Amino acid sequence: MKIAVFGLGYVGIVSAACLARDGHQVIGVDPQATKVDLVNAGRPPIVEKLVGELIAEAVGNGALRATQSAEEAVSFADLSLICVGTPSRRNGSLDTGAVERVCEQIGAAVAAKGRDHVVVLRSTVLPGTMRGLVIPTLRRAAGDAAGHLKIANNPEFLRESTAVYDYDHPPKTVVGADRPEVAELVLSLYEDLPGPKIATRLEVAEMVKYADNAWHAVKVSFANEIGNIAQAVGVDSWEVMDIFCQDTKLNISPYYMKPGFAFGGSCLPKDVRALTYKGRDLDLDLPLLNSVLPANARQIERAMQIVSDYGLRNVAFLGISFKAGTDDLRESPLVALAERMIGKGLNLRIYDRNVHLSRLMGANRAYIEETIPHIGQILSDDLDQVLEHGELVVIGNPAPEFKTVAERLRPDQKVLDLARIPGLAARLGDRYRGINW
């Protein structure tokens, strides 16, 4: 099939690369010339395992290219996947401006094209967005050609740093559409992938992603509170949660059930905000969901209090992206912690092998420049140099190179571990502290 992918961020570029690998002809669309040029040169616009190899191969064999022109893409394609961002506004509501703009472009291009076109929204949106925004905008822009539109919702379940694996091993594939034949057409894109294939109503497909992400967010905060209590009474929180997670009868996944630092990234915080905003809008009482983000913020405050208790001024901060194996800094709790340390007058040096200011772009770059404007002065790609600086070493994520930290430290250095690096506690003794174990 000929497919246009609108938005070359994490979801879009992974989808484009995997679809091209699987035999489809794919054209990526993005307003940023830098991303388009990178893809056309066979290079990835993000840091993500396997994506670079897939893009290089697909561009090399002609299966993938990119453009800034929506009209060119829709004219070429049979189906368009919308994968643009839906970030949070200041009040927690969802900013669907990019979705609306892309729908206007696609609708106008379908009007010019004059034949059937399938439009699939993959971006995360609240229930009612398809009927209230996406479909009306597409039809209005298409005008007399609105009858050529076939519209569906196809939520993604990709995790950053394992996105290609997740694409190939989905827990489920969900497509919402008013017409069964449209849902079946979209599901056919994934016919060779494992897991259940589910065709459902538009609103159900929209809500599924929020149910997933709200539950994942709840699990992280729940485990952290258990861990904080366990540490206070001298109990090994990880042993407690390992036992807890042996009960899998109620679909409890052990993946998130580990005490640790706060959650972050481009999905969980904004989706919880959007869902609780929707609850307030409907005058609903949602005490658990309303408590998730405050509980998460308290875990950042807890880490800051532990740092303050050390009374050490020079800090080596290892890993600032919210997750090892990615360069995504948006809503990283580690960025928030670093910002607070700087605000308290601590002398910070930061190492993260995946974060290079020259390669950051779009919302990712804007976020870090707004949050830590002078990060370029304290960010280094030399791990030993950063370690040498610190009296206190804060480990933010479990990047592979941090497994050797114990051998690199001076006898006077202390470690606050937010990621539970295997074996580090045993090797460092009383110089080591975990956030809640």
Whether 219 is covered by a domain: the verdict is: no
pLDDT band at 219 (very low <50, low <70, confident <90, very high): confident
Whether 163 is covered by a domain: the verdict is: yes
Q: In what order do the strands lie in the sheet with 117-121?
A: 64-67, 25-29, 2-6, 79-82, 117-121, 149-153, 173-176, 197-200
89 annotated as a binding-site residue: no
Please indicate, yes or no, whether residues 55 and 196 belong to a single structural domain of this protein: yes
- Residue 430 pLDDT greater than 60, yes or no: yes
Q: Which residues contact 40 (CB under 8 A, 6 or more apart)?
A: 59, 65, 66
129 annotated as a binding-site residue: no
Whole-number pLDDT of residue 252: 66
Whether 115 is covered by a domain: the verdict is: yes
Q: Which of 18, 83, 103, 267 is catalytic?
A: 267
Percentage of the chain beyond pLDDT 90 is 79
Specify the residue for token string 């690998």.
21
- Residue 267 pLDDT greater than 90, yes or no: no
Amino acid identity, residue 257? M
List phi, psi (to 5°) of 379.
-95, 130
- Measure CA 49 to chain center: 14
Gyration radius (Cα) of the chain, Å: 23
Q: Respond yes or no: is residue 267 known to be catalytic.
A: yes
Angle between helix 287-310 and helix 202-232 axes, rounded to 10 deg? 40
**146: exposed, middle or buried (Cβ count in 10 Å: 0-12, 13-18, 19+):** middle
264 annotated as a binding-site residue: yes
Give the CB-side neighbour count of residue 250, counting CA atoms within 13 A.
Answer: 4
> Per residue in 291-335, pLDDT tens?
999 999 999 999 999 999 999 999 999 999 888 888 878 888 999
- Residue 254 pLDDT greater than 70, yes or no: no
- Residue 107 pLDDT greater than 70, yes or no: yes
Amino acid identity, residue 332? S
pLDDT band at 119 (very low <50, low <70, confident <90, very high): very high
Whole-number pLDDT of residue 328: 79
Nearest Cα to 272, choosing from 226, 209, 227?
209
Whether 102 is covered by a domain: the verdict is: yes
298 annotated as a binding-site residue: no
Whole-number pLDDT of residue 251: 39
Q: How far apart are CA 334 and CA 303, in angstroms?
A: 10
Query: Strand, helix or coil at 258?
Result: coil
Give the CB-side neighbour count of residue 308, counting CA atoms within 13 A.
Answer: 13
In the chain the first and final C-alpha atoms are separated, in Å, by 51
Tell me the H-state helices in 199-351.
Answer: 202-232, 237-244, 268-281, 287-310, 333-343
Q: Tell me how many domains the chain contains.
A: 2
> Per residue in 36-76, pLDDT tens?
999 999 999 999 999 999 999 999 999 999 999 999 999 99
45 annotated as a binding-site residue: no
Whether 322 is covered by a domain: the verdict is: yes
150 annotated as a binding-site residue: no
Whether 212 is covered by a domain: the verdict is: no
Whole-number pLDDT of residue 75: 97
Residue 170 burial (CB count, 10 A): 17
420 annotated as a binding-site residue: no
184, 200, 216 — which closes off a domain? 200
Query: Strand, helix or coil at 56?
Result: helix
Query: Strand, helix or coil at 203?
Result: helix
Interval 343-363 mean pLDDT: 86
Query: Strand, helix or coil at 318?
Result: strand
Q: How far apart are CA 192 and CA 13, in angstroms?
A: 20
Specify the residue for token string 């912690």.
337
Q: How far apart are CA 38 and CA 29, in angstroms?
A: 12
157 annotated as a binding-site residue: yes
Whether 240 is covered by a domain: the verdict is: no
Q: How far apart are CA 419 and CA 401, in angstroms?
A: 13
Whether 59 is covered by a domain: the verdict is: yes
Lowest mean pLDDT among 83-97, 100-114, 326-340, 403-417: 326-340
Whole-number pLDDT of residue 253: 63
Its domain, for residue 418, covers 296-434
Please indicate, yes or no, whether residues 311 and 194 belong to a single structural domain of this protein: no
Residue 111 structure tokens: 């009007």
> Per residue in 224-235, pLDDT tens?
888 989 998 899
143, 174, 200 — which closes off a domain? 200
Please indicate, yes or no, whether residues 317 and 194 belong to a single structural domain of this protein: no
pTM, full prediction: 0.78
200, 233, 265 — which closes off a domain? 200
Lowest mean pLDDT among 76-85, 355-364, 400-409: 355-364
- Whether residue 260 contacts residue 420, with contact meaning beta carbons closer than 8 Å, is answered with yes
Q: Which residues contact 143 (CB under 8 A, 6 or more apart)?
A: 107, 111
pLDDT band at 249 (very low <50, low <70, confident <90, very high): low
CATH of the domain at 355: 3.40.50.720
- 347-351 and 314-318: which strand pairing? parallel
Whole-number pLDDT of residue 296: 95
Q: How far apart are CA 188 and CA 151, in angstroms?
A: 15
DSSP string across 372-419: STTGGGTEES-HHHHHHH-SEEEE-S--GGGGGHHHH--TT-EEEESS
Residue 156 structure tokens: 């993604």
Whole-number pLDDT of residue 250: 44
- Residue 215 pLDDT greater than 90, yes or no: no
Please indicate, yes or no, whether residues 300 and 179 belong to a single structural domain of this protein: no
158 annotated as a binding-site residue: yes
Lowest mean pLDDT among 204-218, 253-267, 274-288, 308-322: 253-267
DSSP at 122: -
Which whole-number Å values give the CA distances from 324 to 249, 359, 399, in the listed order? Answer: 30, 17, 5
Interval 11-20 mean pLDDT: 98
> Per residue in 126-157, pLDDT tens?
999 999 999 999 999 999 999 999 999 999 99
